[in-house]
Amino acid sequence: MSQSQLEQWRRARIRLITEKLEDLLSKLEINQPPDIVNLLKAMRYSLVSGGKRLRPLLALAAADAIGSKETAILPGALAVEMIHAYSLIHDDLPALDNDQRRRGVATCHVVYGEATAILAGDALQSLAFETLAALAIKPRWAERAGTAIYLLAQAIGPLGMAGGQAEDLSFEKKRPSLEESLAMERRKTGELMAASLGVGAALAGADQKTLKIFRRMGLLAGEAYQIIDDLLNQTGDPQLLGKAVGSDAQRGKVTTPTLIGQPQARASADRLMEEAIKLATLFASKKLPWLLNSMNNRAN
C-alpha cells in the first residue's frame, strides 16, 4: 500500500469507528427516561467528539497483521476506544488533572458537572466490557473474546492504567527516578496500547507467542507515546493539540523530559518507537508499522 492508500485507510476506519459508536449510543437512548438520556449524552460528548481513534486503529491493524478481516473484530476496536474515553473523562476531573479542555472543547465535567462525568466514565468502562462479552457468549467467539476481555481488564487495573495514574499523581509531590518515571509511563499509557493490539490480535485468532510480540510492541510504543505527550505538554501548540499546555509544570509534576531534558527524551522516544516498529515489520501488513511511525512523528 502507498502512503496515500494508508492515509485513506486511516480516514475510512476513523469514520467507521465513529459511526458505530454513535449508532451504539443512539440505540441505548431509545425509550429511556431523561436522566439516563442525559448520562448517555455525556458519554457521547466525550466518546465521539473528535479524537485520533489511535487505539481502535491499532486493534484493527493488529487483526490485519494476523490476516483477519478487520470488520470482524470491530467490537474489540469499539471497546478499546470506550475504555480510552472513560480514562480521559476521569483523568480530566478536578481531583486528578483538573483539565478544562480536551480535543478543542470543554471537558466533560465542565459541561455536564463532575458527578455526571464520573458516571459517564464508569458507564463507558462497563459498556466496553459488555460489548466484548456479547461476543464471548457466542460459541464461535468464546475463547477469543475471553482472551480479549482478560487482556483489556488486566491493562486498566491496579497494575496497569489505574496504577500508573496513581503513580502519576504522586509524582506531583516527589521527584521520581528515571526508572520510576518510565515504569509509570508503561503502566499509564503502554498497557492500554498493548491491550489494544492484543484485543485485535486475540479476536483474530493469534496464538500466545504472537500475543506476546504484540504486548511487547504496545508497551514500547506506549512508553514512547507518553514521553512525546510530555514533550508536547512543554512545547506544543494548544490550538493544534486541543488542550492546555504547561499543566505539568504548573502542578510541579516531574516527567521524563524534566528528568533527562528534551533532546534526550526525544531520542529515547525515537529509540523505543523504532523497536516497536521493528516488531511490527515481522508481519506482512504495512498498516501497523506505518501507524506506529505516524504516532512518533506527531512531535517532530
Give the three-class secondary structure for 69: coil
Backbone angles phi, psi at 196, to 5 degrees: -60, -45
Q: Is the pTM of this model over 0.85?
A: yes
Q: What is the pLDDT of residues 117-170, one digit of tens each?
A: 999 999 999 999 999 999 999 999 999 999 999 999 999 999 999 999 999 888
Percent of the chain at pLDDT > 70 equals 93
**Residue 7 and residue 228: Cα distance in Å, rounded?**
22
Measured CA to CA in angstroms, residue 199 lies from 100, 147, 173, 220, 259 at distances of 31, 8, 35, 17, 33
Residues 6+ apart with CB under 8 A from 67: 204, 284
Q: What is the pLDDT of residues 284-295, one digit of tens each?
A: 889 999 999 998
**Residue 101 and residue 109: Cα distance in Å, rounded?**
10
**Nearest to residue 228, comparing CAs of 255, 194, 259?**
255
Contact yes or no for 273/231 (Cβ under 8 A): no
User: Tell me, which fold does domain 3-297 have in CATH?
Assistant: Farnesyl Diphosphate Synthase (1.10.600)
Got the DSSP string for 151-172?
HHHHHHSTTTHHHHHHHHHHTT
Domain boundaries, the chain: 3-297
